[in-house]
Amino acid sequence: MGEMTDYIAGIEEPDRSAMAEVQRAALALVPDAVEGVSYGMPALRYRERPLLAVMQAKGHIGLYPFSPAVVSAVSEALDGYSWSKGTIRFTAERPLPDGLVDRIVALRRDEIDAASDR
**Domains parsed from the chain with CATH numbers:** 3-116 (3.90.1150.200)
pTM of the model: 0.94
Q: How many angstroms separate the CA atoms of 13 and 18, rounded?
A: 8
Instruction: Report the relative pairing of strands 49-57 and 41-46 from DSSP bridges.
Output: antiparallel
What's residue 116's pLDDT?
86
pLDDT of residue 1: 60
Q: Give me the residues of the chain with pLDDT under 70, please.
A: 1
pLDDT score for 109:
98
The pLDDT value recorded for residue 101 is 97
By three-state DSSP, how is residue 59 classified? Answer: coil
Instruction: For 22-32, write each residue's pLDDT tens digit.
Output: 999 999 999 99
Whether residue 51 contacts residue 45, with contact meaning beta carbons closer than 8 Å, is answered with: yes
Q: What does the pLDDT read at residue 117?
A: 82
